[in-house]
Structure 1
């Protein structure tokens, strides 16, 4: 985790929280995600002539990732529909790094040292705390929590699949371009089918915001994929999820959701975890 990799992943965290906030802001979730996914398709198509073509070994990972991403989008839409942004987003993102740590050890043979493992664990505690400690005095919405946890599992799955795929591809930019191209048409097609005859009227008011979200989404994941070619999967996954702190702040500032002292304490845990992950011995 060099300073350059760390900076890239932290920038990815900010842009990732931003596009998720845009998706949450658009009331019709399928419309919002269709615009962001469709915008990603356009960006992917624009990039393919200038990016390297992924190696043959990467294509099974690309198709598997596209399928997992569809499950991720469906579960994330459900999470946003059922729960507050400041609750659903942190649970979904905070639960993923621990699963990534296990999957990376099994499939990528990346067993973290004591410092990295401690850092992932401390960060996950803080990330989950950002969501759960904000529920004091309120009964948790278990349907929303369940959907968010299921979302976290899909995040872990595509993180490992794409980590292995981008390493096999030989081109980080080519991999993200083709990933956006392959997966980008599915949600817009679903929206077109559901909105038969009303497509323009429904999509037009949110088009600019959706395209901004698409640009942020592609930027965030391109940075993460590049980082995964330079560092182990688990620390990158945990560092990326500092987007949860950004997401909680966005929820408080723009959506009127609580932040408060508990989430500040959780953010301190996240920073401590990052420090442990970057410890060089």
Structure 2
């Protein structure tokens, strides 16, 4: 992967960890994710008015990815109900790069070199070590986090193939896919009612504002990833993006006051070493 592309993916990693911290830091994460989704869908609605349509071949992937992203949002909220940020986030993110690499090999016929394989293994292994070190993970919590990781891998492979069929319209592809985020407020209203969505706007404006900001950060982060997937190997892009777990540990320690042990810091170094391997 070209160095400037890797740099942008690392920026996406930082942005991704930031919006996950915003989500985790809010008490009602379903409400927070819904308002994040409203911000994402609203921006996407504007973007599609000013961008060309993706090619016809990309549309099945846009639809599939949009639906999988909704499943991802729901499973992520469930995961954060059962685990703190420094645990749930690494399990979800750490399980995806190897799955993405396998999926890319099966469905996109991608092959990567030994050094990059080593980097992916180091990143995945380090991330899982961060999540599991010194902690008891409940079966339900582990299942929720791993389900989130599977959905991450599925939508990454879908988008990796789809954006390459979009006729060079990565921005339009991203915007049309994110239009499906309008389903999140529909789902919220169906389950909790319109008042539960609207009342916090006046009762807790800071929390809603944080969620809207998180949505803007999220769309920026994943737009970078989809852009990188046009030319970069899916497993490599996925693994490099998952270095966001290091940023998540720092955010969890600095802002959410979560405990970080020496072993966890060592695992972060392993993740960083894996990222270096991917950049060589």
TM (normalized to structure 1)?
0.95
Give the aligned partner of residue 259 of structure 2: 258
Structure 1 residue 226: deviation in Å? 0.4
1:159 is aligned to 2:160:
no
- Aligned to 2:89, the other structure's residue is in SS state helix
Aligned-partner Cα distance in 1 for 2:237–2:88:
21
Give the aligned partner of residue 230 of structure 1: 231
The answer on whether the counterparts of 1:163 and 1:229 sit within 8 Å (CA) in structure 2 is yes
Give the aligned partner of residue 117 of structure 2: 117
Give the aligned partner of residue 71 of structure 1: 71
Structure 1 residue 252: deviation in Å? 1.4
Question: How well do the aligned residues superpose, as a CA RMSD in angstroms?
Answer: 1.2
The worse-fitting range, judged by mean Cα deviation, of 192-201 and 206-215 is: 192-201
Structure 1 residue 125: deviation in Å? 0.9
Give CA deviations for 1:201-240 in whole Å, capped at 9, x if unaligned. 1244232111101110100000000001121101000000
The answer on whether the counterparts of 2:31 and 2:197 sit within 8 Å (CA) in structure 1 is no
List aligned pairs for 1:74-113, cutoff 5 A: 74-113=74-113
The answer on whether the counterparts of 1:31 and 1:203 sit within 8 Å (CA) in structure 2 is no
Structure 1 residue 197: deviation in Å? 3.1
Give the aligned partner of residue 20 of structure 2: 20
Relative to structure 1, the CA distance from residue 230 to residue 197 in structure 2 (aligned partners, 3 Å threshold; closer, same or farther) is: same
Runs of 4+ in 1 over 6 A off after TM superposition: none
TM (normalized to structure 2)?
0.95
The worse-fitting range, judged by mean Cα deviation, of 117-126 and 254-263 is: 254-263
- Aligned to 1:185, the other structure's residue is in SS state helix
Structure 1 residue 245: deviation in Å? 0.8
Aligned-partner Cα distance in 1 for 2:75–2:118:
29
The worse-fitting range, judged by mean Cα deviation, of 32-41 and 252-261 is: 252-261
Relative to structure 1, the CA distance from residue 258 to residue 165 in structure 2 (aligned partners, 3 Å threshold; closer, same or farther) is: same
1:192 is aligned to 2:185:
no
1:269 is aligned to 2:266:
no
Aligned-partner Cα distance in 2 for 1:222–1:94:
20
Give the aligned partner of residue 141 of structure 2: 144
1:242 is aligned to 2:240:
no
Give CA deviations for 1:162-220 in whole Å, capped at 9, x if unaligned. 11111111211001111111x11111112223133343212442321111011101000
Aligned-partner Cα distance in 1 for 2:10–2:51:
24
Structure 1 residue 122: deviation in Å? 1.1
Give the aligned partner of residue 8 of structure 1: 8
Aligned-partner Cα distance in 2 for 1:157–1:176:
16
- Aligned to 2:54, the other structure's residue is in SS state coil
Aligned length: 275
Aligned-partner Cα distance in 2 for 1:198–1:63:
29
Unaligned runs of 5+ in 1: none
Structure 1 residue 243: deviation in Å? 0.6
Relative to structure 1, the CA distance from residue 221 to residue 264 in structure 2 (aligned partners, 3 Å threshold; closer, same or farther) is: same
